[in-house]
Amino acid sequence: MKLRKVTAAAAAALVLSLTATACGGDDDSDSADTGSGGGDKIKVGIKYDQPGLGLKEPDGSFSGFDVDVATFVAGELGYEPNQIEFIETKSADRENALARGDVDFIAATYSITDERKEKVDFAGPYLLAHQDLLVKADSDIAEGTDLNGKKLCSVTGSTSAQNVKDEIAPDAQLKEYGTYSECIAGLQSGAVDAVTTDDSILAGFAAQDQYKGQFKLAGLKLSNENYGVGVKKGDTETVNKINDALEKMVADGAWETAVKENFGPADYKYEQAPKIGNIVQ
């Protein structure tokens, strides 16, 4: 299934934003005042290169589960979709982007950890992901130990592949590529036997039209990754408002719709929506 430019969740956010009574129309500032609700625009940090989660399309539009979550949240804060400015926020720069005020909040596969909570505040979690393996659909790799002697790919600097080697497959051959797109291409060509990172990221790639039916997730659940919405440290008011928005997204079905539309073709065995504040260790 082709990733949709506007999913049902994003459409729901549009309706909500049009009817929101908290929308502020008298603020002349260029940046958001998320604490009081409304403004000319709101700046949201996302990934640009993760299909199914945060992807900038060739026509300049955005798609993915994180995009749908961010659009819904922004709607609840009083912003229409055309008032959202999506800003690429790479993993290494997320804390700094919030501290500098480059973005108002971040929805970008941002796992909640104790170390990160020292620098930023988190709303959520809104998705529980797990480290997993992506293999070819006809692969006989069913467990991590089956990777001994096989080529395992992850991106340069990631700890995912080393975790597999350290914990379950000491004889796996690690291959580091610059991007997950390169890893997936290597899996398709046979240059590597498996790719490892969060299952949500792997499912997003596997759901793309050009890969439909070619890959499968092993379902190993090697770690727990609690995705949260990052907010500038100390902004408790915005955290509370985003938590309210996330709860509403789950309650009205938009959360599940977004999961199925973005990850469905990969047969992603997703966890049910986590409870706000419930961090699974």
3-class state of residue 114 by DSSP: helix
205 pLDDT tier (thresholds 50, 70, 90):
very high
The pLDDT score that the predictor gives to residue 144 is 82
Tell me the pLDDT band of 6, cut-offs 50, 70 and 90.
very low
pLDDT reading at 35 higher than 80: no
Cα separation, 18 vs 272, whole angstroms = 29
6: phi then psi, degrees, rounded to nearest 5: -130, 110
If pLDDT is split at 50, 70 and 90, which confidence band does 142 have?
confident
Determine the average pLDDT of the residues in 8-36: 44
Across-strand partners of 86?
A: 44
- Residue bearing the bigger pLDDT, 28 or 124: 124
pLDDT above 50: residue 108? yes
pLDDT at 17 over 90: no
Phi first, then psi, for residue 207 (nearest 5°) are -80, -10
* Average confidence score pLDDT of the chain: 88
Q: What is the pLDDT of residues 223-259, one digit of tens each?
A: 999 999 999 999 999 999 999 999 999 999 999 999 9
- pLDDT for 145: 87
At residue 182, the pLDDT reads 95
Q: Dump the DSSP string for 137-162.
A: TT----SGGGGTTSEEEEETT-SHHH
Q: Domain 8-129+225-266, what fold? A: D-Maltodextrin-Binding Protein; domain 2 (3.40.190)
Confidence at residue 135, expressed as pLDDT on a 0 to 100 scale: 96
**Helix, coil or strand: residue 87:** strand
* pLDDT (average), residues 262-276: 92
pLDDT digits (tens, 9 = 90+) for 165-200: 888 899 999 999 989 999 999 999 999 999 999 999
Q: How confident is the model at residue 33 (pLDDT cuts 50, 70, 90)?
A: low
- Write out the CATH class of domain 131-217: alpha beta
> In the chain, what percentage of residues exceed pLDDT 90?
74
Model confidence over 44-58: pLDDT tens digits?
Answer: 999 999 999 999 999
From 27-36, 84-93, 265-274, the region with the lowest mean pLDDT:
27-36
Q: Where in the chain are all domains bearing CATH 3.40.190.10?
A: 8-129+225-266, 131-217
From CA 64, how far away is CA 52, in angstroms rounded? 4
